[in-house]
Amino acid sequence: MKNKNRTYSIYLGIGAAIGLVLFLIVYGFRVLDFTNDTWLLTGKDLQQHYLGWKFFRQAPWSFPLGMHDSFTAPDSISVLYTDSIPLFALFFKLLSPVLPETFQYFGLFGLLCYILNGAMASLIVSHFNKSKVFCGISSVFFILSTPVLQRLFGVLSENSRHTSLAAHFLILGALAIWLFKDVFEDYRKDALAWAVLAALCVLIQMYIIFMVGGIMCGYLLDELISQKDWKRLLYDFSSFALSFCFFFFIIGGFTSLLASGGSGYGFFSANLNTFINPWRYSTFFNKMGMTDLQYEGFAYLGLGMIVLCGIACAAILVKAVSLFRKGQLRETLKVKKQRNFSFVVSLVVVVFVFMVLAFSNLVYIGHRIFIEVHWPTVIDNLLAVIRSSGRFIWCVMYIVMILGLYIITKMFNKKVQLAVVIFCVCLQLADLYTPIHRLQKQYYGEAKEEESLVQNDFWRISLGSYDKIAYFPTDGYDATQMLQIASKISKFENVKMSNFYLSRYMTKKVMRQKDKIIEKDFKQGTLDDRTLYILDYANAHKYKDMCYMYIVDNKILAVKNPIVGLEKYTDFLVGSLTPLVELDMSFAGLGKSFLHKGWNGQQLGDKGAWTTWESVVRIYSEDAKRAKITIEYQGGKKKGTTTVKMNGRRIGKINNKESGTVTFETKLKLCENIKKTKYINWLFFTSGDVKKASKAGEKDGKGVMIKKITLSYLPEENVSE
């Protein structure tokens, strides 16, 4: 047994060493600097994970151990729900008194992912190929798997930098237990292994527990069919479930504050072309058809692995033809079936279930729906827990890779095996050169914190004067706004927020309760002088006379006491009291709140919002029956005109290919109730030629970019007919 353990250690060490080297090649040394956190403040999920750790570190200890109230004050939430790798967060919080003021562990975690992914891959391959060189070279496919490159730190232009999801050693670890089941013959050892994996999933990345659990079910099915081993099923399943519940409770996972799932199942799926679709991760091939949200189901095998699998399939075909000609095919298959029946059946079941979950009820091939399944709402609600179901395809991807290497091992002699795997790894590295170079360019250099939405000195100087930031309504601002505001808050001690970008949304009931408390304070004039309220335009209009309001970086701030040096907020209802209303349509602009429908969702860029065929803006009037509307716009690529209408009445047109400013005069209806649609003025931008182009199959569905809309009050006596 000692010799076996020593042998396993050698294979683990080979893969780990290769993983370490490849990590340093891809990301360099800067990310390993514990005091360098700028690269973690560049937006999206990566910023969420780091801020989750930063606020958790500053908060006092409580029980359950992962809880703090910095993000959902006065309620507490677990560090689990910012995907801040609770295992590391807890460990380094214990060491916090001796750590430097600025400290990040995400670079270290990334390094460990590469090391452990490589170690587990090398060990798995050693199960059927004892060549240390073959195992080491093969581990490269797993270490540089495209989902890990996509997820670990990713690139700024992608919305998929979800660091803890790169812990694929958990998936590989579950597969290793299955393959090395003779090592885990003892029930206690087996149960302990699955309990440890469950604990690691909870303390690193909860989503992976569904994948590991699925592989465990396949393993137990294998044991049931082959050994009728119900005792093992009871031991393993119980230990896995109990370990999950215990650590989930200890870290604070059980909460009524957040919803258990979210909408999106069927959209965050895998495409049928996922294994051959490189997305943005190939030197030689362009992106194939897929929907925008199917980055969750990204599992490109890479050119080298595709070629290796092709060679493996060709070898099987040649072998089958040879056996058929000799009249031995049926007997050979019969022997193989008797020897491996339980394993093959169990593996097929696991692969089938994972594929069904990954492809979901909306099965896409390219841009088109291939199969659409309708099922009861109760099933939809259950599947909401795993709404990003495309991720399950990673398990299938690794099984395909292992099978490919297994077939190469069984079909060729040692020299050919090695030649094939070396050739295919070279192809793989060449294919991944471009995405790896993109990562090197980003992480080798100096990073800059993303703070485009919080540039005013107020956030840097005056924010620390408050104890709490309260969003009203609770869900009134988007994730990017909250991330950048939280980044500024984190520079001050003991400032808390009523909401933050979490991995699960607050329940509607909780948000309503929070909003009622704040609304009561506004109505009764009992605002807290140590709270900074951040409002949406509707509440700003409703309570504009109840407090002091300011506009800072297109965010509406409300406070009990006046603030010197800030621009006072001007109401958005045009009229005699607010004769000039500006709706800025840029990414940070408040004007985006008034977009209704028909805008190009992927093109709400930094400068403005792109129209599609028929795009609508909401306009409100207090006492203005007439107004002058000035539209600043940027031309697009489509020839034609965009017709401008107000409440169905044409007021002018815009040349699609020109940029500039146009002014129209229009009638308005008065707003008697801001929540009633009949009191809203509807401003239409209709780009007919864009619709024609879309029908003709063109992908670019943009008309013109609307940058700013200015409403000027016109007294009735000055209106020219």
pLDDT band at 115 (very low <50, low <70, confident <90, very high): very high
Q: What is the mean pLDDT of the chain?
A: 91
Q: First and final CA of the chain: distance in angstroms?
A: 97
pLDDT of residue 109: 98
Beta bridge partners of 67: 78
Distance between CA atoms of residues 689 and 304, nearest Å: 44
Contacts 24+ apart (CB under 8 A), 414-417: 414/131, 414/134, 417/129, 417/131, 417/134
CA distance 409 to 130: 10
Name which of 384, 435, 407 is nearest 279 in CA terms. Answer: 435
Binning pLDDT at 50, 70 and 90, where does residue 498 land?
Answer: very high
Determine the average pLDDT of the residues in 335-346.
87
Beta-carbon contacts of 197 under 8 Å, excluding residues fewer than 6 positions away, are 170, 173, 174, 177, 212, 216, 240
Residue 376's pLDDT band (cuts 50, 70, 90): confident
Per residue in 645-700, pLDDT tens? 999 899 998 888 889 999 999 999 999 888 888 899 999 998 876 655 444 334 55
Q: Which amino acid is located at 565 in the chain?
A: G
Q: What is the pLDDT of residue 693?
A: 46
pLDDT at residue 233 greater than cutoff 80: yes
What is the model's pTM?
Answer: 0.90
Say if residue 241's pLDDT is above 60. yes
Q: What is the pLDDT of residue 701?
A: 59
Residue 643 has pLDDT above 70, yes or no: yes
272-299 pLDDT, tens digit per residue, is: 999 999 999 999 999 999 998 899 999 9
What's the pLDDT tens digit per position in 627-637? Answer: 999 999 998 87
pLDDT of 3 reads: 67
Residue 602 has pLDDT above 60, yes or no: no
- Quote the pLDDT of residue 697: 39
DSSP state letter for 507:
P
Residue 696 confidence (pLDDT): 36
Helices 433-444, 2-27: crossing angle, 10 deg rounding: 70
DSSP letter for 473, please. Answer: S
pLDDT of residue 698: 45
- pLDDT beyond 70 at 244: yes
Could you give the CA distance from residue 94 to residue 646 in angstroms, rounded to a whole number? Answer: 61
Place of tokens 């050739």: 423
24 to 35, 188, 444: CA distances (angstroms):
18, 38, 10
Please report, rounded to a whole number, the percentage of residues in the chain having pLDDT higher than 90: 73
Instruction: Please report the pLDDT score of residue 394 as a whole number.
Output: 98
46, 447 contact by CB (below 8 A): no
Angle 210-215-218 from CA coordinates, rounded to 5°: 130
Q: Give the lowest-confidence range in 77-91, 134-148, 326-340, 488-502.
A: 326-340
